[in-house]
Structure 1
């Protein structure tokens, strides 16, 4: 069971004057019980603190203003001991009792409300925790608590409410961790605000941004149907050296193809061949030829198909090379290609050659 440490006040004397004066014997007893809690080791010692604190809280709760204030402080001590035991739900119940006392001032009630909210969350009481977080944040500003509420709302599939809470957090600055960034993107996507999330991500991207931020931005652009932007983001990260693996390179080529910039994809393939990232084998040459064809770069496409055909010595490749050359008005190259295909036993090129002669 998840344990959540509660803040326990170090000086009951200060609290004694905060909301209602406490008798000296009560202050002495509270200090002694707090000391017992601080030094408690083992379940038996904690149980002793809990029993004493609860008995005192219940004895005093129906008394005057001072008694009620003391009762609330005993409830807080009981909550501290219960949380030490991992009894977060029971601890939260005690804090709820404590802050409900009429003698408890607004500032102290707010502190206990915050602690109760966190205990409810730790206890898995999501609906109650959400209500308490919202109540506390209605009167307070706390970035960490706001992120916790966003997580609770997301866990409860309240995507629109989570997005509403998230928007001002993103306006104030980017998430402080990868986990919060992933949470923000997930919430925005599920709330149908992908464009807003994408704009936020792209605006904050820089050379100092981690690779995860660039990947998420490119992925979100793809999901939003902006393939060209995805390719541009990946290209930028590649040029900055943020992406450099072979997997990143393959993604770069595929994104350019999907984004309508096949010539850029082909240029990357050529450079990779020159630099030795890719081996000069048949598979690579075929990929390069197909990409140059997709880019409709005539000379580059024809040269690539010729290089492929020469490497593979397959009649089908010579035939395809000839068909492309013929379609683009390069009849001499077409004839030479088909003659080679014919010599390799391809009878399908006979009709093509007859058209040239």
Structure 2
């Protein structure tokens, strides 16, 4: 970090010093040049002590105050070279408080102090100084990205968002690290669309990191674009960057969320057949759910039948019964509900009702009557069960009347 701007002008003689600030006496110039030679020779502690002493004893005239500011700058430079950034920042703070110093020089000291505070780990002070500096000067893209990073480290996300937007306006080609910072700030600020675009820019620069694909897909899901998440994941899969069982399962889930469940079902079925994924109950349930979501009645019911028979779990039997009931496949519906009830599923009265309806729809009135009679024993299904039993009695009377009419006609 260059800190000798004022002194460089002094070394050129009094005319340059006049251009930078009030004219200095030859004595002040000689003292400043002597301290700079000591600094160049590595006598840092001596420079700090002597420069601070000279600054403390400076007079009140404009020339003396300008010399005081330059003494403090020299002391700060020596402190910095002793790896004392906090001390150097304190000295520059004193120097830039001297109003006699030219505004351009004080602004440069503000920049230097801000960066020294950062090096010293004084993050709160650094962030405040960066904000002040940005308000008074036109910063380059590197400094704008630095300001964004400082606020991000402090988790000051609104301020970080302001800085990252300034940086992106000023920098048309951010590198991968800067894009990662931008994506993080956008995400933490709730700007998920901007975050997803930043991650995609990273992928355009380097698509080799699976974590970036995962982040981008998650962001698109977060902003309600599951189809885009599925398409992105599919691209990563086809390029061979996303691979393995978990990636394939995620691929299937994203297709289901993105509106292409049949594609998910087909890939899961093929993967199970080929042994690409483990043949577990969970994976079979995912396959069955994909077929059900795609509304392929035959394959969905077949898949849920396999799951239920393998697990013998009440919920799986209920899923089979519920799907079959909705699609009017009454024999499977009756079996599913009966098995679920036998395995201790919740709401047995409601299960009995649906089981009875399935039996009734198959014309098995005696079986339906027995099931509805059991349903009458549960408070939440008693009324409906009674209505179905009355309907069955009505059907029987109608059947008996019809039968009697046919006999009398003979």
- TM-score norm. by structure 2 comes to 0.65
Query: Quick one: structure 1 residues 324 and 356, their matched pair in 2 at CA, closer, same or farther if it must change by over 3 Å?
Result: farther
Structure 2 partner of 1:251: 250
Q: Which has the higher contact order (CA 8 A, sep 6+)?
A: 1
**Is residue 2:79 matched to residue 1:74?**
no
Q: List alignment gaps of at least 5 residues for structure 2.
A: 344-351, 365-410
**Is residue 2:40 matched to residue 1:35?**
yes
- Inter-partner Cα distance in structure 2 for 1:142 and 1:94: 25
Structure 2 partner of 1:184: 182
Offset at residue 115 of structure 1 (A): 0.7
- Inter-partner Cα distance in structure 2 for 1:139 and 1:240: 46
Query: Quick one: structure 1 residues 315 and 255, their matched pair in 2 at CA, closer, same or farther if it must change by over 3 Å?
Result: closer
**Is residue 2:278 matched to residue 1:279?**
yes
Offset at residue 114 of structure 1 (A): 0.9
- Inter-partner Cα distance in structure 1 for 2:205 and 2:156: 34
Query: Quick one: structure 1 residues 54 and 231, their matched pair in 2 at CA, closer, same or farther if it must change by over 3 Å?
Result: same
The 8 Å contact of residues 160 and 191 in structure 1, kept in 2 or not, is answered as: yes
- Inter-partner Cα distance in structure 1 for 2:325 and 2:83: 79
- Inter-partner Cα distance in structure 2 for 1:231 and 1:253: 9
Query: Quick one: structure 1 residues 308 and 155, their matched pair in 2 at CA, closer, same or farther if it must change by over 3 Å?
Result: closer
Q: Deviations over 1:50-105 (max 9, x none)?
A: 2122112333464553x544433331221123234554333212112333445544
Offset at residue 318 of structure 1 (A): 8.6
Structure 2 partner of 1:141: 139
The 8 Å contact of residues 176 and 202 in structure 2, kept in 1 or not, is answered as: no
Query: Quick one: structure 1 residues 315 and 152, their matched pair in 2 at CA, closer, same or farther if it must change by over 3 Å?
Result: closer
Tell me how many residue pairs correspond in the alignment. 336
- Inter-partner Cα distance in structure 1 for 2:321 and 2:93: 83
- Inter-partner Cα distance in structure 2 for 1:319 and 1:166: 52
Query: Quick one: structure 1 residues 196 and 70, their matched pair in 2 at CA, closer, same or farther if it must change by over 3 Å?
Result: same
Structure 2 partner of 1:221: 220
The 8 Å contact of residues 76 and 89 in structure 2, kept in 1 or not, is answered as: yes
87-96 vs 9-18, greater mean Cα deviation: 9-18
Structure 2 partner of 1:43: none
Q: List alignment gaps of at least 5 residues for structure 1.
A: 1-5, 41-45
SS at match of 1:19: helix
**Is residue 2:11 matched to residue 1:16?**
yes
- Inter-partner Cα distance in structure 2 for 1:177 and 1:203: 8
- Inter-partner Cα distance in structure 1 for 2:193 and 2:257: 19
Query: Quick one: structure 1 residues 207 and 234, their matched pair in 2 at CA, closer, same or farther if it must change by over 3 Å?
Result: farther
Structure 1 partner of 2:160: 162
111-120 vs 77-86, greater mean Cα deviation: 77-86
Query: Quick one: structure 1 residues 149 and 272, their matched pair in 2 at CA, closer, same or farther if it must change by over 3 Å?
Result: same
- Inter-partner Cα distance in structure 2 for 1:101 and 1:318: 82
The 8 Å contact of residues 75 and 97 in structure 1, kept in 2 or not, is answered as: yes
